[in-house]
A and B are shown apart, each in its own frame.
Chain A
């Protein structure tokens, strides 16, 4: 006997998996889930990537940390190697968190590519997929391309020039080449227009999935930051994309600001697209588990936030707190700070009680009911929401993208009326400046993983702008412009000879 052909039994051969129609949806769901979970076992196990602790390396957790920790909006107490350097803007190419998001981003690109390779008409033929199911697969392919474009956007936003590869490049081939930020920008742009009509209409997708609403938001994000990415401003196109969203009438502002971040926020009509989490079915130590646990400590009672215990980690600096008229939230209800036993000043970032705590995300519903499992939040992450679209619209108008200044003012005041429970906080046309927008974005969108990108667009991230602990000192100082980009992880520079390290690292 010389038979050595053994097929796995608890995992499946691709041909077997993809000859069943229902598995195509499961495969697609995995690309979405790549933003939310970390492996194939919950809360951790069979990890997608291996070079960092699984829960730590979660896509959203690291995307969030890299967008928020180097800004005025947050500090974290823990001393894990590389973590304080994110707060200080003094990271190196060996930083494990930068490595994690890098590999998570390209894991998403890789499995989206794999999905596209395995769903070509030839492959569907060879697996006997019936004609009637093919349009469904076409729709799935558009969603896969949307998710790939999203991750490529995160890639150029954080790393600048990145590796580029598509479904044409198979597994086990030579390392991909690096493309300029502008080239990848152009690819994302063309992908988004190519799939526009294949995605469901605005607001028409089932919850959790991308439709044209999500697509227009991603277009608007790209165009709004186009000057940073390509040197060429595209504010007019940003306005056009945002108008499609606002004019559609598919979305409306949530009545209570805080309800946007609670365990039942999937019912909110303001959310355009979310990353979903669930205490029973979508578990992990990243994402909303992190965002509901890490900011709790000191004298805070974990039960008030629907969680089993605080992680004594995240707080904010006075630079964010001072943008609000008062800390209690009485005037502007968006000021969700916990101050009892917490000091405003931070002498020691590793002391949880220094700096106000921010229980913005909770695992309690708007009715006060605790989520399904206090260990893992039910709350979804608002990747794109209407409030952001309003402020983006106003900013693009101010940057000369056309549109209507009156409408911009009206939209900004809509957000302020919600925040102030009335017109007390409304601004006038004279108040509507770019500086105001930057601050208003801090007030409206803090801890929603936009801040680093915003500050860089306003040139206030590194060489300008000072807040506590920026530069590694309590009072803060400016840093070098090299920190506007994250370095390519050193492990990647070593293993891919095609890569050139980002200037300055």
Chain B
């Protein structure tokens, strides 16, 4: 054991850097500099490098080479070697061979962020993170390079401190990742290409996001406290008519229905929305002694939604502890992360708010059966949404805990360079949701029963055991390291639920099921298991040629014996051109020039369990059959495919990393091509070949390619003033190359709101998945779509031939005339971040955009017709404003008039902060900041929001969120 000491200063000013951290690479041993920038660290045996890091400065790694004094002058903003986690280990950034992007907490998005992945929205080329909805705490959709699957999940694999998670949530929660307090995250690393992700084998096809939480560092306790308050306001882009406009439309289109209208004016949308307030507080304490470090943190977050009643609350605790034993040969790390999330969900009233007649009042005091709310006594009519919000309670709570114990032992005494690591982990996610509808709510009364509750419980547990040996050796100018390991992970789910109907009293809510006349009970229990063997070789010749190869053999319980095991190889090569003698002349211009080529195979097995096995399913008590006087429970054999196997994606990645002018300008350009084979589809199978009309099976292939460009520029870099920008753009293209065993069967998909069984999308060979499949609308001279009910072609009948193009010219308008259109997937993804500092003031923003994505405006197609005021019943429904323009009488669900470009540019985030630095005789430091999220969106899309799955029918209002916060360090 040796002691290394030294002083760390700013290269330009010569000022000491106070509180810079020094870490012995490969261990958790570290310290920080004192007020004079001086440090002293006892370096454990076997450690050859020290890592120096300080906020605002690049991380520097120095080889010790027997020195006991290492002084360092660091230039701010200079990018040198960083260490990047890559799954089962870490490598120097300069040694990376795959497509790996790391975003650390300095670059995270700011503001009211509940779900961790929002931290890196817009930050990584090829990674599309789109906010789910305006619900507080709703998880975003994350797609890395467009996704590789159609039926199985396209979500990436998340690995938190070495523990791979199951992506499924539990009842009562919003997003399964929400348990993690964004404030506890040190960095997020995205493994984009298969050569990097293949080490995760059958789970790596959609990329991997490695999340590393903050750890403590040796030294006196340092305390950090952050508090912020948020205000959310609703962005109203709804297009249903107000009372006056609605009355005018009824007067024009169906005057005989005027008598049904009310005589007030209610803006249902305004009645249901609110300004939401929220608060977040985080406290963390970290420090360490000679042989150990710790970090504990607690967080509390509470956020109201912009829809009345919607709310989320989270309490989180995080503990990281590292202890070194046996002269630092054994390192024990323990980590526990736990959170309790409480949610209040809105009862799903937005559609009712858009449908409900705006001339009707909220209350009708005489209507005591429905608690004094105005309601139509008709089972098909929309329900008073204010009544729903005030009467229905819909809450959920989840508890999640993830713990892991890491043991690392260095056999340096025995065999230098050999170490062993084991990770034992658990993940417990338990949730409960409670929904209670009182007897006075009209839907139930008009549907023949009164009062209802649902109680859903869910317990999801997983156990992990990972173990691997690493052996590293240097010979001459070459270094090699070899890793072999074994992994076992088991996932269990159990979800009992109770439903009660016909309540004798509202007094107990969901607390006393005994008051329900009818009780129904359900349960679901599933288990699956993954067992893997893996190995990886890194080979480095003279820091010039870098080679990585990995091999993983995965076994999954989701498949039958003959398909259970799969092999996932990868290989990648990187060439650091500047290290070549012939490139010596380029060194003045280039600071980095690295060419990478990688190939790998990954898998996807994220879909249902036991689909390969014949199983019999029992009926519940409501699907029995009468034999004589008895009702007999039934059992049904389920469809299955015993030869089911995982999807396999093989991909090629070519990348060039470059840096100019001392990395003032740096970037990455990459091309990738992915071919996914054995796509898992739930497809139509020929009748008679199985026990249902659709079976989940492997059919088809998908090809996916793209180009990604990331540029980082330090535009201005002076002591007083700095400006740096990061931009990324990616072009992507996905095409189905094969479907079904027997040729080119199209698969219709994309169910919409309106009618039953109507679909507007298609899976077809040669087309982008989920391309829209619609009739071509004809337009009149005035530019308006031709309206239905008029015999334009004068053939004696007013039908679809009058208003849609008869593309095959056979004189009949039918499914043969539907045409394939654009798709929801964007062609281009854009992200742009800028940060400016002036003295202690910082200003930054993140812009994010999609181009070439198309949206089917289902709100307009379903609501934009006049038949809604002429239903033949004793109620009317409000209409979408487009009906005033189109004058459609009946819904025209299949008109391409409703297909719109969804291209957009959104200002996701704007942040200003002021760093007061050290205050009160250096007793504390203070930073205050203000953030605005979702400030504006530029788009031609006429509907609620162009982001989503391409079918816009859940118009939950998005929020604009303002945050004011302060961070105090002690």
Q: Select from chain A the residue with minimum beta-carbon distance to B814.
A: A92
Interface hit among B46-54, B236-244, B682-690: B682-690
Pair B631/A282 contact, Cβ less than 8 Å: yes
Pair A50/B682 contact, Cβ less than 8 Å: yes
Question: How far, in whole Å, are A32 and B871 apart by their CA atoms in the complex?
Answer: 37
Interface hit among B363-371, B394-402, B751-759, B919-927: B751-759
Residue from A1, A37, A49, A312 within 8 A of B380 (CB atoms):
A312
| Interface positions of B from 717 to 752, Cβ below 8 Å from A | 740, 742-746
List A contacts of B287 (CB < 8 A): none
List B contacts of A9 (CB < 8 A): 525-527
Pair B627/A176 contact, Cβ less than 8 Å: no
Asked whether A439 is an interface residue with its Cβ less than 8 Å from the other chain, the reply is no
Pair A29/B688 contact, Cβ less than 8 Å: no
List A contacts of B872 (CB < 8 A): 77, 297-298, 312, 351-353
Residue from B448, B525, B529, B640 within 8 A of A171 (CB atoms):
B640
Asked whether A183 is an interface residue with its Cβ less than 8 Å from the other chain, the reply is no
List B contacts of A3 (CB < 8 A): 529
Residue from A26, A53, A209, A490 within 8 A of B757 (CB atoms):
A53
Mask, B804-847, CB within 8 Å of A = 1, is 00000000001100000000000000000000000000000000
Pair A375/B447 contact, Cβ less than 8 Å: yes
Pair A11/B610 contact, Cβ less than 8 Å: yes
Size range of the chain A interface in the assembly: 35 or more
Closest chain-B Cβ to A58's Cβ sits at a distance in Å of 12
Pair B623/A39 contact, Cβ less than 8 Å: yes
Question: How far, in whole Å, are A459 and B480 apart by their CA atoms in the complex?
Answer: 85
Pair A8/B613 contact, Cβ less than 8 Å: yes
Interface hit among B580-588, B691-699, B939-947: B691-699
Closest chain-B Cβ to A307's Cβ sits at a distance in Å of 8
Tell whether A176 pairs with B688 under 8 Å between CB atoms, given A2-B531, A81-B755, A495-B745. Answer: yes
Asked whether B279 is an interface residue with its Cβ less than 8 Å from the other chain, the reply is no
Asked whether A79 is an interface residue with its Cβ less than 8 Å from the other chain, the reply is yes
Asked whether A111 is an interface residue with its Cβ less than 8 Å from the other chain, the reply is yes
Pair A174/B528 contact, Cβ less than 8 Å: no
Asked whether B635 is an interface residue with its Cβ less than 8 Å from the other chain, the reply is yes
List B contacts of A50 (CB < 8 A): 682, 692-694
Pair A29/B757 contact, Cβ less than 8 Å: no
List A contacts of B745 (CB < 8 A): 491, 494-495
Asked whether B245 is an interface residue with its Cβ less than 8 Å from the other chain, the reply is no
List A contacts of B890 (CB < 8 A): 79, 350
Pair B682/A207 contact, Cβ less than 8 Å: no
Question: How far, in whole Å, are A43 and B448 apart by their CA atoms in the complex?
Answer: 14
| Interface positions of B from 661 to 718, Cβ below 8 Å from A | 682-694
Interface hit among A189-197, A212-220, A273-281, A389-397: A273-281
Closest chain-A Cβ to B802's Cβ sits at a distance in Å of 13
Tell whether A27 pairs with B690 under 8 Å between CB atoms, given A80-B755, A492-B684. Answer: no
Q: Select from chain A the residue with minimum beta-carbon distance to B620.
A: A41
Asked whether B793 is an interface residue with its Cβ less than 8 Å from the other chain, the reply is no
Closest chain-A Cβ to B128's Cβ sits at a distance in Å of 29
Mask, A1-21, CB within 8 Å of B = 1, is 111111111111110010000
Question: How far, in whole Å, are A26 and B620 apart by their CA atoms in the complex?
Answer: 12
Question: How far, in whole Å, are A43 and B624 apart by their CA atoms in the complex?
Answer: 11
Pair B635/A281 contact, Cβ less than 8 Å: no
List A contacts of B638 (CB < 8 A): 11
Tell whether A282 pairs with B618 under 8 Å between CB atoms, given A494-B745, A495-B742. Answer: no
Q: Select from chain B the residue with minimum beta-carbon distance to A23.
A: B635
Pair B622/A281 contact, Cβ less than 8 Å: yes
Mask, A338-358, CB within 8 Å of B = 1, is 000000000000111100000
Asked whether A425 is an interface residue with its Cβ less than 8 Å from the other chain, the reply is no
Asked whether B523 is an interface residue with its Cβ less than 8 Å from the other chain, the reply is yes
Asked whether A206 is an interface residue with its Cβ less than 8 Å from the other chain, the reply is yes
Pair B688/A30 contact, Cβ less than 8 Å: no
List A contacts of B797 (CB < 8 A): 472-473
Q: Name the residue in A2, A30, A103, A276 with the highest tally of chain B Cβ atoms < 10 Å from its Cβ.
A: A30
Asked whether B2 is an interface residue with its Cβ less than 8 Å from the other chain, the reply is no
Dominant SS among interface residues on chain B: loop
Question: How far, in whole Å, are A375 and B524 apart by their CA atoms in the complex?
Answer: 27
Question: How far, in whole Å, are A207 and B627 apart by their CA atoms in the complex?
Answer: 6
Pair A208/B743 contact, Cβ less than 8 Å: no
Asked whether A402 is an interface residue with its Cβ less than 8 Å from the other chain, the reply is no
Question: How far, in whole Å, are A173 and B622 apart by their CA atoms in the complex?
Answer: 34
Closest chain-B Cβ to A357's Cβ sits at a distance in Å of 11
List A contacts of B531 (CB < 8 A): 1-2, 4
List B contacts of A257 (CB < 8 A): none
Residue from A172, A209, A278 within 8 A of B631 (CB atoms):
A278
Question: How far, in whole Å, are A472 and B531 apart by their CA atoms in the complex?
Answer: 62
Tell whether A278 pairs with B626 under 8 Å between CB atoms, given A50-B693, A171-B640, A309-B378. Answer: yes
| Interface positions of B from 558 to 588, Cβ below 8 Å from A | 564
Q: Name the residue in B447, B555, B632 with the highest tally of chain A Cβ atoms < 10 Å from its Cβ.
A: B632
Q: Name the residue in B625, B643, B684, B691 with the highest tally of chain A Cβ atoms < 10 Å from its Cβ.
A: B625
Closest chain-B Cβ to A87's Cβ sits at a distance in Å of 13
Asked whether A73 is an interface residue with its Cβ less than 8 Å from the other chain, the reply is no
Pair B614/A171 contact, Cβ less than 8 Å: yes
Mask, B612-646, CB within 8 Å of A = 1, is 01111111111111111101111111101111000
Question: How far, in whole Å, are A276 and B632 apart by their CA atoms in the complex?
Answer: 12
Tell whether A280 pairs with B893 under 8 Å between CB atoms, given A10-B526, A46-B617, A494-B742. Answer: no
Asked whether B609 is an interface residue with its Cβ less than 8 Å from the other chain, the reply is yes
Pair B529/A4 contact, Cβ less than 8 Å: yes
List A contacts of B815 (CB < 8 A): 92, 94, 490
Q: Select from chain A the residue with minimum beta-carbon distance to B630.
A: A206
List A contacts of B88 (CB < 8 A): none
Asked whether A64 is an interface residue with its Cβ less than 8 Å from the other chain, the reply is no
Residue from A94, A280, A491 within 8 A of B684 (CB atoms):
A491
Closest chain-A Cβ to B777's Cβ sits at a distance in Å of 17
List B contacts of A48 (CB < 8 A): 636, 692
List A contacts of B746 (CB < 8 A): 494
Asked whether A42 is an interface residue with its Cβ less than 8 Å from the other chain, the reply is yes
List A contacts of B624 (CB < 8 A): 29, 33, 278, 281-282
Pair A49/B623 contact, Cβ less than 8 Å: no
| Interface positions of B from 470 to 529, Cβ below 8 Å from A | 488, 522-529
Asked whether A373 is an interface residue with its Cβ less than 8 Å from the other chain, the reply is yes
Pair B447/A309 contact, Cβ less than 8 Å: yes
Asked whether B94 is an interface residue with its Cβ less than 8 Å from the other chain, the reply is no
Q: Select from chain B the residue with minimum beta-carbon distance to A106.
A: B687
Residue from B609, B693, B758 within 8 A of A80 (CB atoms):
B758
Asked whether A120 is an interface residue with its Cβ less than 8 Å from the other chain, the reply is no
Pair B756/A53 contact, Cβ less than 8 Å: yes
Asked whether B873 is an interface residue with its Cβ less than 8 Å from the other chain, the reply is yes
List B contacts of A14 (CB < 8 A): 614-616, 637
Asked whether B891 is an interface residue with its Cβ less than 8 Å from the other chain, the reply is yes
Closest chain-B Cβ to A438's Cβ sits at a distance in Å of 29
Asked whether A369 is an interface residue with its Cβ less than 8 Å from the other chain, the reply is no
Residue from B523, B614, B628 within 8 A of A207 (CB atoms):
B628
Pair B379/A302 contact, Cβ less than 8 Å: yes
Pair A169/B448 contact, Cβ less than 8 Å: no
Asked whether A311 is an interface residue with its Cβ less than 8 Å from the other chain, the reply is yes
Pair B689/A171 contact, Cβ less than 8 Å: yes
| Interface positions of A from 58 to 111, Cβ below 8 Å from B | 77-81, 92, 94, 96, 102-103, 106-107, 109-111
Please name the 9 residue pairs, one residue from A and one from B, whose CB atoms are nearest each other, closest first.
A42-B622, A309-B379, A308-B448, A206-B628, A374-B448, A496-B686, A175-B686, A106-B687, A30-B634
Could you write out 16 A-B pairs with CB less than 8 Å apart? A2-B531, A7-B613, A10-B524, A27-B616, A30-B634, A77-B872, A80-B757, A94-B814, A107-B692, A110-B688, A171-B689, A282-B623, A282-B624, A297-B873, A375-B448, A473-B796
User: B residues near A, CB below 8 A?
Assistant: 378-380, 446-449, 488, 522-529, 531, 555-557, 564, 609-610, 613-629, 631-638, 640-643, 682-694, 740, 742-746, 755-758, 796-797, 799, 814-815, 867, 871-873, 890-891, 893-894
With A94-B814, A208-B628, A494-B745 given, can you name 8 additional A-B contacts, CB distance below 8 Å? A27-B635, A33-B619, A53-B757, A172-B642, A312-B380, A473-B796, A497-B743, A499-B686
